[in-house]
Structure 1
């Protein structure tokens, strides 16, 4: 049984390479069919793994240097075996949606290949058994995100957003590179299993790993690139936010959690960073008007919740939230893309409304995804998000993290309700000349497939898919209902605000601060560079010129010339009589001398 399981896992690894190989030779339709086949085949080893629970490590090649041994190996454990089929399924639905959404794009086949490379880089990252392979996948998702975010490179905002994503991720990559250097210098290995065998890892390399995860998963301080990435096509946003790129940072910490578990400082930093991120992103999402940016900030908020869960020493729970979050987040982006496409690329929710009659499938699934995001009972997000809050209530963490998480939960329900209200419940406010419709199966089938996952996957993962069932925790009824109460309060308060917003003559003072992300972009992208440039100009051009160039050049020459001239001219300073006397004496002497020698 173990040998057969090992063989099937290898077959799945080879099957993951098949879509990329066939993409070079086949058309868009065949690529989608190949992805469906790969998704179906990947389910078999996953079911075999869930039945046996046997972890497999496959080594294909050994490369040995003088003092450093490197193995190209793949690890198939709970994280890999559950994540890869989900990533394949979500990518398949996004590619099917792409056939309708980008049908007019002349380079659609190349765009699909980029999506496949995006998936392959994430597959390399999740299945790597050593840090170098993980780093290859890590950089792969980074460069593919740059190419896909800037796909419409004729738009200045798209190019700027792609560069911004690379810059912020490069700041995080510095931490990962330094951690790799530390592991190679002190442990002389990059094999993950050998790293786990160490007694205790110092805090310094763990801080590098946390910095890398903060950059890739858009944690507070390195978060501005995530909402800016909405300049890319909607299928890119759906894939980037659900099963690639942004979850790579959290997955890194989940994979290397045995190293973090030995450091209370690292866990505390993850806890505080996650609590700040989940609350700040939820506050920013409250007053955004771009439908894609609202969903983007919700992703950042959920990533903060996952980081907070890692700080509570619960990596399995954070990973489960990654899997459930992938379904309804991809569905939310596809629904938003469907609405934007049918409204002539209009993304402002204030210009939408009344779409429940013209686009019933899209609006129903958008409502379903928003409810799942708000942890409505018996949807996928409920089984993981509520469990995280309940675990926090029974864990010895500080009350500040619990309070911020409860506030973020209420705000999540608030902006989800606001999104539903403005897009399809309120009266129509669109000036579009075309009537929205849902005629193409490539538009509706992917959304319905993800809707099924958003409904059923949470129940499946808690009842059938987990090899180790979570323990039942006994707690008071008040704590058990805390998450649901926060969700209900946020939804009710938002519904009340919707009725009073139209009656307010002007927005309150804090409105601008929240819509501008607490002026974070203005400070970091404008004021700080401007001050640095002015300081550099002052030191390099003004002070440097006055202190060195002018003092060494013109002023020194002037000083030297003045001293020499003054010494030479000092004997000539006198009265006019002296000069006349000397002139007369000299003339007389010359005349007498001439007369004597020439009589």
Structure 2
């Protein structure tokens, strides 16, 4: 008898019961939340190990909830390769982030509520991962959207946090239009259940596929809908870590991986994904080079990695995108937790130009930060290498337009450069801050070390798993070493840049950097577009209507049109004062003449 469904249901029940308990009890012990996440993670590993031995797919369906004339809607949980692999990752990362939050947010009066929000966020993501019909997926999709809104705007007394939360929800609503359109199309012409939909993949036209790409662009912050992701850094650091690693932003890419059979034969859709992905990965990496806020650099690096996943979907390789998504979760969460540790110990300083010399005062976080940055670069035998290197090899070996390949290689070089920039400015040299640097404490080191072990070993574990099928290398050594050569070149150029400009005092951005620094002017567009719209509305309502229309067609226009008519019909000029004066004078004259 297969135990997978039972074990996965146990995991769900643990999470839901913990969150419910937190809602009902005011004095809930947060250590219980951490323990229940640990238990849920350990349980979820058992189905994963059975999956590695025999690749099976299990569906669990409830009785029909909604009966319609054309279809029955059930609650269905799909336990297949992506869901069984990603659930333990999401649980592991959330477990580490919740433990870190208990230290980072310890002074917050509403810490209990904060952890509750993080748990709800996780549950919404698991709903997306396990959904087998579009309605269920949409519930999770909106769940992560609303939770990100609440968490980014956690410090709601700050206007920047409110603006960032609004920006996140509005950009996501733009993408959601696409998902709603796809769902509506499927209800009308195919079916809401994914399996039934995949059977008809040859007959599917462009409309639902455009909707899916738009949804993924909104949620995964692809170029055009990208500004909300760096802006989301206004939220607390644990939120950034969870948002960027295993929930929210990967949901868009996960949607395309899950529904890939719909678009695998559609060359137009795949080309669109390839172009969007390669443009995003290059643009975000270039933008990261011009930023000085440590969290914004890491956020733009997420956008760059998501672009890489999108490129893989465009190359018809969803499993490679999924592999990178899995390894990326660990080192991205680690990068954010390390930067959170620095920020907290430097009295909330986020500008890397004001840091420096932290390797002396915070040795453990320094080591983990360096490992995380090397993993992001794709250094051999760390987990990022196994996915990133394979992605670049696949790109080089595929018959595609070399433009996408060039963009990706430039982005790889830039990612090595901004990673070295973080290491150089924050860890080496002398302290540049006036703030008092606190010594690191034991509390945040545990979750950071746990994620570091994940970042180092996950790639190797994937390589050693039974899913791995080794292929014979049929490519030249230069191509095989291509990614590594580009990375090494990036490190060298970065070191050169650092030694050329050793001290950069905070200053206004120069004109040359302005395009990337301002995220292609999308941030200024937020202000200029509404401003111009409001001004135009004001001009139309006041100047156009009041001063011109009403003047010309109102009383003045009426006077101008009636006066000539009066002059035609009568000799009187309507000058009543003159008439009265003449009448009075005449009367007086007549009276005087009569008297005399």
Normalized against structure 2, the TM-score is what?
0.92
Find the structure with the greater CA-based Rg.
1
The Cα of 1:258 is off from its aligned counterpart by: 0.4
Work out which of the residue numbers 417, 422, 435 in structure 1 matches 2:420.
417
Q: In 1, distance between residues paired with 2:435 and 2:572?
A: 95
SS of aligned partner of 1:151: coil
Structure 2 matches for 1:5-404, cutoff 5 A? 5-24=4-23, 25=25, 26-62=28-64, 63-187=66-190, 189-198=191-200, 199-404=202-407
The Cα of 1:148 is off from its aligned counterpart by: 0.3
Is 2:476 the counterpart of 1:476?
A: yes
Q: In 2, distance between residues paired with 1:239 and 1:503?
A: 33
The Cα of 1:178 is off from its aligned counterpart by: 1.0
Alignment deviations for residues 100-145 of structure 1 (CA, whole Å, 9 cap, x no partner): 1011011000000000000000000110000000000000000000
Contact 2:295 2:336 in 1 (8 A): yes
Q: In 1, distance between residues paired with 2:286 and 2:155?
A: 30
The Cα of 1:152 is off from its aligned counterpart by: 0.5
Q: In 1, distance between residues paired with 2:321 and 2:83?
A: 14
Contact 1:375 1:385 in 2 (8 A): yes
Q: In 2, distance between residues paired with 1:251 and 1:135?
A: 13
Judged with a 3 Å threshold, the aligned counterparts in structure 2 of structure 1 residues 9 and 109 are, in CA distance, closer, same or farther, namely closer
Q: In 2, distance between residues paired with 1:315 and 1:571?
A: 90
Q: In 2, distance between residues paired with 1:84 and 1:209?
A: 23
The Cα of 1:470 is off from its aligned counterpart by: 5.8
Q: In 1, distance between residues paired with 2:21 and 2:504?
A: 58
The Cα of 1:509 is off from its aligned counterpart by: 4.2
Contact 1:200 1:262 in 2 (8 A): no
The Cα of 1:468 is off from its aligned counterpart by: 5.6
Judged with a 3 Å threshold, the aligned counterparts in structure 2 of structure 1 residues 476 and 142 are, in CA distance, closer, same or farther, namely same
The Cα of 1:504 is off from its aligned counterpart by: 8.8
The Cα of 1:539 is off from its aligned counterpart by: 3.5
Alignment deviations for residues 260-302 of structure 1 (CA, whole Å, 9 cap, x no partner): 1121111000000000000000000012110000000000000
Q: In 1, distance between residues paired with 2:234 and 2:42?
A: 33
Q: In 1, distance between residues paired with 2:250 and 2:424?
A: 29
Please name the residue that 1:594 is paired with.
none
SS of aligned partner of 1:201: coil
The Cα of 1:472 is off from its aligned counterpart by: 4.4
Contact 1:274 1:303 in 2 (8 A): yes
Contact 2:15 2:119 in 1 (8 A): no
Please name the residue that 1:570 is paired with.
571
Alignment deviations for residues 470-517 of structure 1 (CA, whole Å, 9 cap, x no partner): 644421101011100110000001101101114899986413333222
Alignment deviations for residues 545-584 of structure 1 (CA, whole Å, 9 cap, x no partner): 45643344223431354245424542679xx9xx99xx99
SS of aligned partner of 2:520: helix
Judged with a 3 Å threshold, the aligned counterparts in structure 2 of structure 1 residues 311 and 472 are, in CA distance, closer, same or farther, namely farther
SS of aligned partner of 2:3: helix
Q: In 2, distance between residues paired with 1:320 and 1:572?
A: 92
Deviates more, 1:55-64 or 1:116-125: 55-64
Q: In 1, distance between residues paired with 2:38 and 2:278?
A: 38
Q: In 1, distance between residues paired with 2:220 and 2:51?
A: 29
Please name the residue that 1:450 is paired with.
451
The Cα of 1:364 is off from its aligned counterpart by: 0.7
Contact 1:352 1:423 in 2 (8 A): yes
Deviates more, 1:244-253 or 1:191-200: 191-200
Judged with a 3 Å threshold, the aligned counterparts in structure 2 of structure 1 residues 260 and 438 are, in CA distance, closer, same or farther, namely same
SS of aligned partner of 2:492: helix
Contact 1:61 1:73 in 2 (8 A): no
Please name the residue that 2:527 is paired with.
526
Q: In 1, distance between residues paired with 2:98 and 2:416?
A: 30
Q: In 1, distance between residues paired with 2:147 and 2:503?
A: 46
SS of aligned partner of 1:75: strand
Alignment deviations for residues 207-257 of structure 1 (CA, whole Å, 9 cap, x no partner): 111011000000001000000000100000000000000000000000000
Normalized against structure 1, the TM-score is what?
0.92
Contact 1:201 1:262 in 2 (8 A): no
Give the count of matched residue pairs: 577
Q: In 2, distance between residues paired with 1:288 and 1:297?
A: 9
Please name the residue that 2:460 is paired with.
459
SS of aligned partner of 1:74: strand
Please name the residue that 1:429 is paired with.
432
Please name the residue that 2:560 is paired with.
559
CA RMSD of superposed structures (Å): 2.4
The Cα of 1:153 is off from its aligned counterpart by: 0.6
Contact 2:383 2:457 in 1 (8 A): yes
Judged with a 3 Å threshold, the aligned counterparts in structure 2 of structure 1 residues 33 and 6 are, in CA distance, closer, same or farther, namely closer
Q: In 1, distance between residues paired with 2:572 and 2:422?
A: 94
The Cα of 1:53 is off from its aligned counterpart by: 1.3
Q: In 2, distance between residues paired with 1:19 and 1:158?
A: 28
Deviates more, 1:33-42 or 1:300-309: 33-42
Contact 2:462 2:468 in 1 (8 A): no
The Cα of 1:20 is off from its aligned counterpart by: 2.1
Q: In 1, distance between residues paired with 2:94 and 2:8?
A: 20
Contact 1:410 1:486 in 2 (8 A): yes
